[in-house]
Chain A
């Protein structure tokens, strides 16, 4: 595609429910990243994929958070048993390779609101 796309754009859920957030990277990009942006704050790294594997899961805030990627394309970030503190914008980015040299291109994000 022309750019990174994310769906849904906005998600409102009730505390305790599970949510799935989707990211479609730029075609041909092998690396994919998830970030969380709380209101009024900068981006917080969550996890990244090189291909379909996730070498670094250290940024995931708790075991309620998980992510997967299939076919070196679409990725899904799942939050189980959502809590109010999970409310944030979740941003996805992709790059050609997982290297310092390659620019990360960002999607528009999913705004998650947990009531």
Chain B
């Protein structure tokens, strides 16, 4: 079974600075996807960034980038130039590379607060 661990329940960062959220996972699969989702107080989950395990290059989306270490089973999220609107819960998630994508596993989340 796959498990996803986020070891930082809460983090804070000053506006305009950089913060890194940690995520580790455990799997015997070789092909899979990893995701970071953002959940603001509105509760709506928003996909931030996605990484395919077979791609060595780290994914980037504007101010968001990941450090994917496949051997270490680590998938951290870096947020640069933090903005007040980045305040939210952040969830790391894992999905097998299979025809049916029902098997998405989530970590417990990290609550990020961006301070002015």
Contact = CB atoms under 8 A, between A and B. Distances in A.
B102 A95 contact: no
Given A100-B33, A100-B96, 11 more contacts: A40-B108, A42-B93, A42-B106, A43-B93, A45-B102, A48-B100, A89-B43, A93-B45, A98-B101, A104-B104, A108-B42
Given A41-B109, A103-B47, A56 B4 contact: no
A25 interface: no
A98 B46 CA distance: 18
A109 B41 CA distance: 11
Report the interface size class on chain A. 20 to 34
A107 B101 contact: no
Main secondary structure of the interface of B (DSSP, over half): loop
Top-5 shortest CB links A-B? A42-B106, A106-B45, A100-B101, A48-B102, A43-B106
Place the interface of chain B in its size category.
20 to 34
B11 to A, nearest CB: 15
B104 A56 contact: no
B101 A56 contact: no
B102 A108 contact: no
B100 A99 contact: yes
Nearest to A59: B102
Given A41-B108, A42-B4, A42-B108, A55 B100 contact: yes
